[in-house]
Amino acid sequence: MPEEALAQESFMSPWQLCLSSCSPGEKVNYTEALKNPTRYFESLADKQLSFNGRPSSFMARDVAAAVCRAAHLADFFFDACVFDLMVSGGDVSYRDAARDALDDIRSMYPVYGRHYETNRSDLKPYLATAAIAIFKVTVALSMNVYV
pLDDT of residue 126: 84
Per-residue pLDDT of 47-76, as tens digits, reads 655 544 444 678 999 999 999 999 999 999
pLDDT of residue 29: 79
pLDDT of residue 111: 93
Q: Which residues does the chain have with pLDDT short of 50?
A: 51-55, 147
Cα separations in angstroms, 71 against 42, 60, 77, 88: 28, 17, 11, 17
CB contact at 8 A, 64 and 86:
yes
Task: Provide the 8-state DSSP code for 115.
Answer: I
What does pTM read for this prediction? Answer: 0.69
pLDDT of residue 55: 47
pLDDT of residue 38: 83
3-state secondary structure of 42: helix
